[in-house]
Amino acid sequence: MTTRRETQTRLDQLLTEIEHRNPAQPEFHQAAHEVLETLAPVVAARPEYAEPGLIERLVEPERQVMFRVPWQDDQGRVHVNRGFRVEFNSALGPYKGGLRFHPSVNLGVIKFLGFEQVFKNALTGLGIGGGKGGSDFDPHGRSDAEVMRFCQSFMTELYRHIGEHTDVPAGDIGVGGREIGYLFGQYRRITNRWEAGVLTGKGHGWGGSLIRPEATGYGNVLFAAAMLRERGEDLEGQTAVVSGSGNVAIYTIEKLAALGANAVTCSDSSGYVVDEKGIDLGLLKQIKEVERGRVDAYAERRGASARFVPGGRVWDVPADIALPSATQNELDENDAATLVRNGVKAVSEGANMPATPEAVHLLQKAGVAFGPGKAANAGGVAVSALEMAQNHARTSWTAARVEEELTRIMNDIHTTCHETAERYDAPGDYVTGANIAGFERVADAMLAQGVI
């Protein structure tokens, strides 16, 4: 039998090869390292995973699509953006993962997100593969007409690669209900099919699911609550620091309040707000969802309890729980050290890979409960899969039923990660538990289906 040390040596060699074959893609390298550095125990215990080049196949996307997206602004000027769709792994079902519209998008970012999505989707147990897509287009400050023209051009290429039994995109940063509507309309126009299951995150009146906008934030809070329960605590009365002010952050704050915790921060690229009374959710939604404004406007209108800190680090605010909900690598080692000094009990990732590897290791070493994004923020894709189920049946579930299913799924994910970590002698290590549990589900399916 291959020893754990020999297995780790082989995985280290594969990581070197990944970096060589995928130059200038640091986010993808980071995601691959985060997973592969935890797999030695399971590969050593189950040598069948090592034989058919399974891990080598797992880290290589099944398909990578990149295309140009020409569009006209309101002044008639032509712009050209890049579009991406990385279909990473379909062993468990059709590719499933969001579209991100943001200037930071490039192939490496999309590959990192798609790789994470493979394991996240596996953890839900809902029979969906992993993929991701997007564009370096920035919808911020663009008119509805400009966003529509961009989405129509984007879908004119993307439509040939997707379908309810092939690849089902959803929203992500920069892609909300408005963008999904324009994308779906163009898909319907081109294909002449009412294929509701081809996109998720749709409006409730035309195939969308209730609780879908809330699902990622709600799910992350439910996962954090489960981690605290494992330690004999609950969310009631806890103070929380939340980063971001988009969809994930807003509904994280909402669910925290519903469970008796008090979120005192929100942020965007201009800085962060601290509100001693707790974030006024109605005001935040008005500014961010209706007016599409900045968080400094929240502080101006909230009154004496709130202050805006330009720049700075939201993690400087003392709290019992931290929920990074903005973007990748927003919480570094210094931030983690500050959180530990301030007595943080749990950190749960609402965004994808928001904590750097150094930050994760420091938090774990300090005994902080740490929920990795592939487990903690799986609520969004879980409800997307529930939306697909409703579309297939041409029915619509009540909000109560969807939330009940979401709660069950998040608790099951927590239990799976916790028990898997214990099974591989890493009690309390949710990173190891999530990586191995997700890997086992995908790897078993890949073995069953042959070398493809």
Catalytic member of 132, 202, 255, 345: 132
Same domain membership, residue 342 and residue 247: yes
pLDDT tens-digit readout, 243-252: 999 999 999 9
Band (pLDDT 50/70/90 cuts) for residue 88 is very high
Tell me whether residue 247 is annotated as binding. Answer: yes
Q: Which residues pair with 63 in a beta bridge?
A: 87
Same domain, 67 and 42: no
Among 346, 376, 406, the domain boundary falls at 376
Question: Does residue 338 lie in a domain region?
Answer: yes
Same domain, 98 and 180: yes
The pLDDT confidence band at residue 196, using thresholds 50, 70 and 90, is very high
The pLDDT, as a whole number, for residue 179 is 97
Is the pLDDT confidence value at 319 over 90? yes
Task: Flag whether 140 is in a domain.
Answer: yes
Question: What average pLDDT does range 289-317 have in this prediction?
Answer: 94
Return d(Cα 270, Cα 313) in angstroms, integer: 11
Residue 96 among known ligand-binding residues = yes
Q: What pLDDT score does 321 carry? A: 98
Q: Across the chain, what does the average pLDDT equal?
A: 97
Q: In this structure, is residue 152 part of a structural domain?
A: yes
Distance CA 445, CA 452 (A): 12
**What CATH number should be reported for the domain holding residue 269?**
3.40.50.720
Domain co-membership, 271 together with 372: yes
The range of the structural domain enclosing residue 311 comes to 215-376
Find the mean pLDDT for residues 344-349. Answer: 98
Residue finishing a domain among 376, 404, 426: 376
Q: What are 99-158's pLDDT values in tens digits?
A: 999 999 999 999 999 999 999 999 999 999 999 999 999 998 999 999 999 999 999 999
pLDDT surpasses 70 at 181:
yes
Surface-to-core class of residue 451, CB atoms within 10 Å of its CB (0-12 exposed, 13-18 middle, 19+ buried): exposed
384 in a known ligand binding site: yes
Q: For this structure, is 132 an active site residue?
A: yes
Whether residue 367 has pLDDT greater than 90: yes
> For a pLDDT cut of 70, what percent of the chain falls above it?
100
Contact 78, 149 (CB under 8 A): no
391 found inside a domain? no
Of 140, 59, 134, 55, the residue nearest 97 (C-alpha): 134
- The answer on 165 and 31 residing in a single domain is no
| Residue 142 domain-assigned (yes or no) | yes
Residue 451 lies in a domain: no
- Interaxial angle between packed helices 399-423 and 430-449, expressed in degrees from 0 to 180 and rounded to the nearest 10: 100
Indicate whether 11 and 71 sit together in one domain. Answer: no
What is the per-residue pLDDT for 288? 93
Assess whether 133 and 222 both reside in one domain: no
Within 8 A by CB and 6+ apart from 237, the residues are: 260, 261, 262
Does 364 appear as a known binding residue? no
- Is 202 within a domain? no
pLDDT at 4: 82
Contact 351, 326 (CB under 8 A): yes
Instruction: Mention every residue, 6+ apart, whose C-beta is less than 8 A from residue 431.
Output: 34, 38, 360, 364, 370, 372
Q: Do 55 and 89 belong to one domain? A: no
Same domain, 70 and 159: yes
| One domain, residues 41 and 167 | no
- pLDDT of 51 reads 86
The CATH number that applies at residue 166 is: 3.40.50.10860
Instruction: Tell me if 325 is assigned to a ligand binding site.
Output: no
Q: What is the mean pLDDT of residues 343-368?
A: 98
Residue 365 known to bind ligand = no
Q: How confident is the model at residue 292 (pLDDT cuts 50, 70, 90)?
A: confident
**Percentage with pLDDT > 90 across the chain:** 96
Looking at the 3D structure of the chain, how many domains does it have?
3
Judgement on whether residues 172 and 290 belong to the same structural domain of the protein: no
203-216 pLDDT per residue, tens: 999 999 999 999 99
Query: How confident is the model over 29-45, as a mean pLDDT?
Result: 95
Give the tens place of pLDDT for each residue, 378-388: 999 999 999 99
200 is in an annotated binding site: no
Q: Does 1 have pLDDT greater than 80?
A: no
Give 384: exposed, middle or buried? Use CB within 10 Å, 0-12, 13-18, 19+: buried
Select from 170, 19, 27 the least CA-distant residue to 112.
Answer: 27
User: Which long-range contacts (C-beta less than 8 Å, at least 24 apart) are formed by 21-26?
Assistant: 22/108, 22/111, 24/108, 25/107, 25/108, 25/111, 25/112, 26/108
Residue 397 lies in a domain: no
Among the three residues 319, 343, 376, which one is the final residue of a domain in this structure? 376
Together in a domain, 117 and 50:
no
Q: What is the pLDDT of residues 12-29, one digit of tens each?
A: 999 999 999 999 999 999
